[in-house]
Amino acid sequence: MNASHSQKLSRRDFLKQASVGAAALTGAGTLAGQAQASEAPAESSWAVLIDLTRCTGCESCVLACKASNNLPNPDVVATSLDSDAFTCLETRTLAEGGVGYVKRQCMHCLSPACASACTVGALTKSPEGPVVYDSAKCIGCRYCQYACPFSVPTFEWENPLGLIRKCQFCQARLGQGQKPACAEACPNGALRFGRRDALLAQAHAQIESNAGRYVRRVYGEHEAGGTSMLYLSAVPFAELGFPQLGSEPIPHQAETVMQQTPLTALTVAGLASALAWFLQRRQKLAATPIEEEIS
């Protein structure tokens, strides 16, 4: 009887602690997300204007990124983002023939969904523009991967204690008055570094003064609330694989996912706890001598 009562208390304590933990996780994560979203920089934050009509696929930006960040396999050019490649060069076959090159990296959103979704504050939006990742805080939950509309954060699957990896906008270089490594390395002027408002003005001026060269749109100006990586293109962005997003910032969607996830985890934990108790009780009853049951 006492043992059974003790088991009931243990189960109750477990579920109580799990529910408290889930509630704390939901509340803390939401508040952290709101705090990160509120720190979106002004239009004068740092940005990069990527003119895809000037990109020749030389891959200098990818190699410079690897060298600057001391990433493995420095001579291997990445064709997709992964834990060892913070930027990559994708090749797209165009509808009218030929190929187009697309440089991909973190978009450094003005209202980053990844920072909003992170429950431990491992991702923050700095006033200068970069969305910065702190590996010391990361717990590897991968909420940021689910939240990012650009599928940027990658995970170290090869590492048993894997963490998230992504472009940091060369924050250390910016602090020293230098350009991001990729922008500095581009020999064709396809990557232009500067203040976001100034780059947007230049981009629209280029569109107006070069009739027929560009589609009349600067990708990243409004998408997902705006990004620090801006693009010019000669073909529709959808043809190049860019996600078609509205102008509404995405953090509130990330917060909804984050709020629901702990509840789901709690439900699963509760069911698992009940099942474990039932199995343990059945085993104990099966092992109890018959005469003890009669007495």
Is 198 found in the same domain as 58?
yes
Is 191 found in the same domain as 172?
yes
pLDDT given for residue 160 in this prediction: 84
**Does 295 map to a domain?**
no
**Does 52 map to a domain?**
yes
Confidence grade of residue 170 (pLDDT, cut at 50, 70, 90): very high
Name which of 4-13, 64-73, 96-105, 165-174 the model is least confident about.
4-13
**Does 31 map to a domain?**
no
**Cross-strand bridge partners of residue 91:** 101
pLDDT given for residue 43 in this prediction: 74
Confidence grade of residue 11 (pLDDT, cut at 50, 70, 90): very low
Q: Which domain holds residue 69?
A: 39-249
Count of domains in the chain?
2
Give pLDDT tens digits for 216-233. 999 999 999 999 999 999
Whether the pTM exceeds 0.85: the reply is: no
Is 242 found in the same domain as 167?
yes
Is 153 found in the same domain as 278?
no
Q: What is the CATH number for 190? A: 3.30.70.20
Q: Indicate the burial class of 135 (C-beta count within 10 angstroms; 0-12, 13-18, 19 or more).
A: exposed
Is 264 found in the same domain as 171?
no
Is 111 found in the same domain as 65?
yes
Is 259 found in the same domain as 243?
no
Is 275 found in the same domain as 132?
no
**Does 184 map to a domain?**
yes
